[in-house]
């Protein structure tokens, strides 16, 4: 079968290496390539994909919402989020899914088994946060709290959550068992810590959906305070594994996928 990831920029995507490792481990002869489609060419998406004769593709920044008008069907979970990261092509029909939230939460449950009883704070209210919130909301008993820099972002939220400003979150921080940063603050060269951690309770798990760097500023600060930390590497691996399952019906070899990503990151450093 033939797969791809579509984004812009896409040169540094680890998806091809991760999926290739899985195909090899499962003795499949599938292919997975990275396709750079800048926003100004996105209207050609049907032609580009049809010419490649793909069976499915992942879709990443900045196209997760732009793809929606091109889909024949959207599953309920993706519909709630309003963003798509996986498309399955079946008899010429394009079916949209979102595996980001499920990918993150599967990994989180492995390190925090009592997830249903956790009080959770999400920082950021963009597409990534919505994906996590929609999935967490199906598992966690207490209402979720979401903090954002600008309150206008919540106008696009259908899900009922407690809405906090960043400073309200800083003040109430000790109420939470898990704090998850979904904003790009701290990604790549950005050294910002999105909220002050002065009021963090000692047991609170601090998480970031970013995995490059492995320790974002908020994770480094939490670790220095002695708190448990959890980054976005498992989310990346699991979203890929869930996409593979949607496309093929088969379970992916997530250990091999994760090792391939870790090895590639080591080579880059």
Residues classed as catalytic? 64
Q: How far apart are CA 5 and CA 37, in angstroms?
A: 10
Interaction of residue 72 with ligand ATR, rule CB under 6 A:
no
CB atoms within 10 A of CB 87: 28
Q: Which stretch binds ligand ATR (CB under 6 A): 26-34, 145-153, 200-208, 211-219?
A: 145-153
* Least distance to ligand ATR, CB of residue 28, Å: 31
In the window 84-143, what residues touch ligand ATR (CB under 6 A)? 124-129
* Least distance to ligand ATR, CB of residue 190, Å: 7
Buried b (16+ CB within 10 A) or exposed e, 170-189: beebeebbbbbbbbbbbbee
Interaction of residue 183 with ligand ATR, rule CB under 6 A:
yes
Q: Which stretch binds ligand ATR (CB under 6 A): 104-112, 169-177, 183-191, 235-243?
A: 183-191
* Least distance to ligand ATR, CB of residue 25, Å: 30
CA torsion, points 111, 114, 116, 121, in degrees to nearest 10?
-60
The binder of ligand ATR chosen from 8, 153, 225, 245 (CB under 6 A): 153
Q: Which stretch binds ligand ATR (CB under 6 A): 7-15, 47-55, 155-163, 181-189?
A: 181-189
If we measure between CA atoms, which residue out of 182, 95, 204, 186 comes closest to residue 135? 182
How many residues touch ligand ATR (CB under 6 A)? Answer: 16
Sheet strand arrangement including 56-59: 31-36, 2-7, 56-59, 86-90, 93-97, 73-74
* Least distance to ligand ATR, CB of residue 21, Å: 25
Interaction of residue 238 with ligand ATR, rule CB under 6 A:
no
Task: For ligand ATR, give the closer residue by CB, 59 or 241.
Answer: 59
Collapsing DSSP to helix, strand or coil, 92 comes out as coil
* Contact by Cβ (8 Å): 214, 193: no
The binder of ligand ATR chosen from 37, 134, 187, 194 (CB under 6 A): 194
Task: For ligand ATR, give the closer residue by CB, 194 or 257.
Answer: 194
Q: How far apart are CA 127 and CA 206, in angstroms?
A: 20
CB atoms within 10 A of CB 12: 9
Task: For ligand ATR, give the closer residue by CB, 89 or 237.
Answer: 237
Q: How far apart are CA 29 and CA 191, in angstroms?
A: 42
User: First vs last Cα of the chain: how many Å apart?
Assistant: 32
Task: For ligand ATR, give the closer residue by CB, 59 or 89.
Answer: 59
The binder of ligand ATR chosen from 42, 184, 193, 212 (CB under 6 A): 184
- Chain positions contacting ligand ATR, by CB under 6 A: 124-129, 148-150, 153, 182-185, 192, 194
């Amino acid at each position: 079968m033939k797969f791809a990831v579509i984004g812009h920029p896409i040169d540094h995507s680890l998806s091809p290496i991760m999926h290739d490792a899985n195909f090899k481990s499962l003795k499949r002869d599938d292919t997975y390539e990275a396709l750079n489609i800048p926003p100004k060419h996105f209207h050609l998406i049907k032609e580009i994909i049809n010419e490649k004769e793909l069976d499915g593709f992942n879709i990443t920044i900045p196209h997760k919402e732009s793809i929606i008008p091109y889909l024949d069907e959207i599953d309920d979970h993706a519909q709630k989020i309003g963003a798509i990261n996986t498309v399955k092509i079946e008899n010429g029909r394009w079916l949209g899914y979102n595996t980001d939230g499920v990918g993150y939460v599967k990994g989180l449950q492995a390190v925090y088994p009592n997830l249903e009883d956790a009080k959770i704070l999400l920082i950021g209210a963009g597409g990534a946060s919505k994906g996590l919130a929609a999935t967490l909301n199906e598992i966690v008993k207490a209402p979720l709290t979401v903090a954002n820099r600008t309150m206008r972002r919540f106008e696009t939220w259908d899900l009922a959550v407690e809405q906090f400003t960043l400073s309200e979150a800083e003040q109430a921080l000790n109420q939470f068992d898990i704090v998850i940063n979904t904003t790009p603050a701290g990604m790549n060269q950005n050294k910002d810590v999105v909220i002050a951690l002065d009021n963090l309770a000692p047991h609170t798990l601090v998480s970031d959906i970013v995995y490059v760097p492995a320790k974002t500023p908020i994770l480094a600060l939490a670790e220095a305070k002695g708190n448990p930390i959890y980054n976005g590497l498992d989310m990346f691996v699991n979203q890929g594994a869930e996409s593979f399952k949607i496309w093929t019906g088969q379970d992916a070899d997530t250990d091999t996928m994760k090792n391939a990503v870790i090895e590639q990151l080591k080579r880059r450093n």
